[in-house]
Structure 1
Amino acid sequence: MYKKNPFCILAVLLVVCFASTFVVAEQLKKDISKTIVDLPIHFKNSKIVRTVDLRNTIAREEIGIRAENIHQQPVDEYYLPFPETYDEKVAIITAALKQGSKEQLLVEKFGFDSERHIQLYKITFPQPIQPGESVPFSIKLVTTHTLTPNPPVIPQVARQHVEYNNNMFMYNLYGADESKTTVVLPQNANVITFTETTENFSRNGNKLVYGPFTAIHPLIYTAFHVHYEQSKPLLAVKNLVRDVQVSQLGGNLAVEERYPLRHEGARLEKEFSRVSYQQSIGVHAHTNVLKSLTFHLPSSARDVYYRDDIGNVSTSNLHYEPSGAVLEIRPRYPLFGGWNYTWFHGYNADLSEFLRYNKNSGQYVLNIKFVENAKTMTFDHVKLNIVLPEGASNVEVHAPFEFDGVTHSTHYTNLDTTGRYQLTLDKSNVVSEHEQFIQITYNYSSISHLQKPLVASAAFFLVFALSIFVSKLKFTIGTTKVIKKME
């Protein structure tokens, strides 16, 4: 057949050549893209004490480390590895000295080892550690989306259980002479199963203690899990958008927040029953149902509104306490696992509560929180839009943490000419630890105060002048004939 048709042979050869070329190119691409970060081992961990707090719906770790410099030269850099899949869940990582001034240490991403799929962080000490000396310091770590409902589907009136999986030891490059891990669970929580070692394990109330273990090898991973009761709803906001508008002439700060909320807890095994819901009101506190949310607002908050996709929601309550205003909202329907609810709320507040003038620098300082009311939920992504007065310049951001993106743009509103300065701050994996004040500094001259009134006055004057001019014009068609009256 092929002898009779040489074109078939040519086609087969072309296909084989193309396929082999593609395979070789892909292999070269993989080899080139792989990088191995080879770090010198200058430290040895003498002791590691680790506590994993699972009392809330967000996992928090506090790790105490005593590291000894085994190098012949002073060293001031300590490297911390995270598996790639675990690093994606890291929301907060901070370090501090445990003795003396307890100074905060600089923590920054160092590089990614694509061969071992490890993200490396670098911790820098304020002073180099001399050979043979030890330095005690602590690491705080907050991770999101680490709790998995198990079982994933439950009856409407049932207790929710979750599972937590992690490494029994701290994942590190230097190993450890001694290591101990303590897992703290909710008080009186029903623990179904957990990893139990044959030795060096104890349970004390709501605490599971693993260790102390000795001679821990570097980069060791020993999986452990705990399956326990967690009645709180697992709440996550996919993309929170906060709009803050500064009105310097009116002395007003307008805030609006848009929440696409999702309940990531165990789902209902059957359709929702309103009758069963009403009959089980007395045990709702032991289930994962979400019935209401509470938001703390500034003490000067006024004109508060709360609306969803349908319209205004009247099931809300606003009252004032010594610490500030408290807004309690109740969604149109109770939220169970897998359910979503989208709404937005906003308010006006006195600008003097957030803005001050620095006479030394000649700049205005806007002091606001990056997020608010983040204690009961996590945010996959937060976008904060700050609209400053028209004429603001030399805008700078000062924050206790880094942002994924900072964008400078122009925002137009009514009676604007050159547009208002807009600053957009983006960050992923946001938790309650990010509920901190950030400062926005900018210049705003006295002439800029008069820009909008002068432009508005000039516009009204031109309109009136144009109307006078137009009123003097005669609009006729053809020639005008004068008819004299006969006497």
Structure 2
Amino acid sequence: MMREQLFALLLLAAGCLARNNGVSSNLVNREITRHIDLKTQVAHISYEYVIENTGSSAVPNFLFALESHHGKQLSFLGATDDEKNSLKVTENVEVQPSSNAYFARIAFASPLAAGAKTTVTVSAVIPAIVTPFPAEITQSEKQLVRYSGNHYVLSPYATDSQTTSVELANKNVESMSRLQPVNVNEAKIKYGPYENVAAMASDELSLHYENNAPYLSIRDLDRKIEISHWGNVAVEETIDMVHAGAKLKGSFSRLDFQRNPAQAAQAAVLHFKTILPATARDVYYRDEIGNISTSHMLEKEDSVELDIRPRFPLFGGWKTHYYTGYNVPSHEYLERYGSQYRLTMRAVDHVYDDQHVQKLTVRVILPEGAKNIKVETPYTMEQGPQTLHYTYLDTFGRPVVTLAANNLVQDHIQDFVLTYEFDSTIMLQEPLLVVGALYLLFLVVIVYVRLDFSLKPKQA
């Protein structure tokens, strides 16, 4: 009897697994509207699905598909329903039968009943999918880039009607694929509508066009956050940045650049804007040589804009390494509940528009004596082993929490939460050390002045 029950449970589990990993034949895409934004080096793609359940039972989720080369570069994927509620997204799932595509499972807010329809909006951000072509250009040449995709919206379900609109940086298009019907209006291209599209239908979409947008990429961003219970949070970022566009062919002419920067360096990056918190003060911008005085800072009501101008224009393949830092009052980010403290800060901040961070490391330096440390991150981040940091008047070291993540974009500018316990009496340690050191110093001076170390006898 026990064997029969165990066998039945195994069959039930296998059936559930097959349903989760398989494609439901009950779902049909009644309409799909896709918008592809290619104005920058980061592709922003939004989808609007009108989905109907044609079966006889409720369906809890549906499968979202991407071309495999897009899935490998995918940085952010989010979904909402028709009431703008966020939906749970499980990325990179295996689907049976297997196919050469990237799949994500998106759960409906509530199981889609038989015969019911729903609208789901999906947002995908894919950096480094728009590549320079040719790969090298001279100083005064315009930058041409290439995008490769699919005329059809890839889906494991049949689609009644679908439309795709593409928005480019400008109207200068060298070449493009034309699967009819297609309409071109200045910098906007509309493909479709395509009717009765089969599941997983594919037809290559290719675009070759001009785009002189800043093709910047941050190879490494080291963000250090130092907490002080004396009312301050110090933030410093060390950034390794590269111009990932078409590489500069030949030598750089400073004379041509000085005469007409707009014409002689069309694809070069001359400056970019970093946004800091509104309460940021003591802001600095430096590199290995020292302070860079060409930057400008504008204080607004809700932010501080730092216009960063490197010491030299950044052409394709050129790199820069610099530091930015500032202080903010701790009461805006640190909450106290007795001996419990709660820090809420951004894991990554706005470095430049449409940013792409290949590697991020966040180091949070807590006050000496902090314990029972817990971290909650808004997305998957790897937490490294806890280390110690020593600075002035420290005795047993300050705990350091290290977080790391890769392939981040603008949508990852979100808060993480760090909680810890701290005994406030430990704050007296540093003042007492200073007082004790001064007391010993004065005591030594008093003893030294009052004692006579002379070898000569005193005269009567």
TM interval, short-chain normalised:
0.7 to 0.9
**Among candidates 39, 45, 49, match of residue 65 of structure 1:** 49
Q: Which deviates further from its counterpart, 137-146 or 328-337?
A: 328-337
- Does residue 449 of structure 1 match 2:449? no
**Among candidates 225, 236, 239, match of residue 217 of structure 2:** 236
- Does residue 147 of structure 1 match 2:130? yes
Could you tell me how far apart the structure 2 residues matched to 1:256 and 1:167 are? 42
Say which SS state the counterpart of residue 105 (structure 1) adopts. coil
Shift of residue 369, structure 1, vs aligned partner: 5.2
Larger Rg: 1
Contact 1:407/1:425 (<8 A) preserved: no
The corresponding residue for 2:106 is: 123
- Does residue 50 of structure 1 match 2:31? no
**Letter in structure 2 aligned against 1:298:** P
Could you tell me how far apart the structure 2 residues matched to 1:181 and 1:216 are? 13
Work out the percentage of aligned pairs sharing the same amino acid.
Answer: 30
**Letter in structure 1 aligned against 2:296:** N
- Does residue 96 of structure 1 match 2:75? no
Contact 1:157/1:280 (<8 A) preserved: no
1:444-476 CA distance string (max 9 Å, x none): 33223334434555566678889999999999x
- Does residue 211 of structure 1 match 2:192? yes
1:230-282 CA distance string (max 9 Å, x none): 11120001111111111112x12111111111101122221111112122225
Shift of residue 194, structure 1, vs aligned partner: 0.9
Q: 1:461 to 1:80 in 2, by over 3 A?
A: farther
The corresponding residue for 1:111 is: 93
The corresponding residue for 1:436 is: 414
Could you tell me how far apart the structure 1 residues matched to 2:84 and 2:385 are? 35
**Among candidates 167, 173, 177, match of residue 184 of structure 1:** 167
Could you tell me how far apart the structure 2 residues matched to 1:217 and 1:471 are? 98
The corresponding residue for 2:117 is: 134
**Letter in structure 1 aligned against 2:71:** D
**Among candidates 262, 277, 296, match of residue 317 of structure 1:** 296
Say which SS state the counterpart of residue 255 (structure 2) adopts. helix
Number of residue equivalences: 436
Q: Structure 1: which 5+ runs fail to align? A: 1-35, 476-481
* Alignment map for 1:14-413 (pairs within 5 Å): 38-98=22-82, 101-109=83-91, 111-112=93-94, 116-186=99-169, 188-197=170-179, 199-249=180-230, 251-283=231-263, 287-358=266-337, 362-368=340-346, 370-405=348-383, 408-413=386-391
Q: Which deviates further from its counterpart, 450-459 or 84-93?
A: 450-459
The corresponding residue for 2:11 is: none
RMSD over aligned CA atoms reads: 3.2
**Letter in structure 1 aligned against 2:415:** F
Could you tell me how far apart the structure 2 residues matched to 1:405 and 1:225 are? 40
Q: Structure 2: which 5+ runs fail to align? A: 1-19
Q: 1:228 to 1:259 in 2, by over 3 A?
A: same
**Letter in structure 1 aligned against 2:402:** T
TM-score by length of 1: 0.80
Q: 1:49 to 1:319 in 2, by over 3 A?
A: closer
Contact 1:235/1:264 (<8 A) preserved: yes
Could you tell me how far apart the structure 2 residues matched to 1:117 and 1:456 are? 67
Say which SS state the counterpart of residue 102 (structure 1) adopts. coil
Could you tell me how far apart the structure 2 residues matched to 1:172 and 1:144 are? 22
1:188-216 CA distance string (max 9 Å, x none): 4311111112x322123322111111222
Contact 1:90/1:144 (<8 A) preserved: yes
Say which SS state the counterpart of residue 258 (structure 2) adopts. helix
Could you tell me how far apart the structure 2 residues matched to 1:458 and 1:282 are? 63
Could you tell me how far apart the structure 1 residues matched to 2:205 and 2:428 are? 65
**Letter in structure 1 aligned against 2:88:** L
Say which SS state the counterpart of residue 239 (structure 1) adopts. strand
Could you tell me how far apart the structure 1 residues matched to 2:372 and 2:26 are? 44
Q: 1:162 to 1:466 in 2, by over 3 A?
A: same
Say which SS state the counterpart of residue 48 (structure 1) adopts. strand
Contact 2:234/2:328 (<8 A) preserved: yes
Shift of residue 352, structure 1, vs aligned partner: 2.7
Q: 1:110 to 1:369 in 2, by over 3 A?
A: closer
Contact 1:266/1:338 (<8 A) preserved: yes
Q: Which deviates further from its counterpart, 115-124 or 338-347?
A: 115-124
Q: 1:88 to 1:156 in 2, by over 3 A?
A: same
Could you tell me how far apart the structure 1 residues matched to 2:410 and 2:187 are? 24
Q: 1:73 to 1:282 in 2, by over 3 A?
A: closer
TM-score by length of 2: 0.85
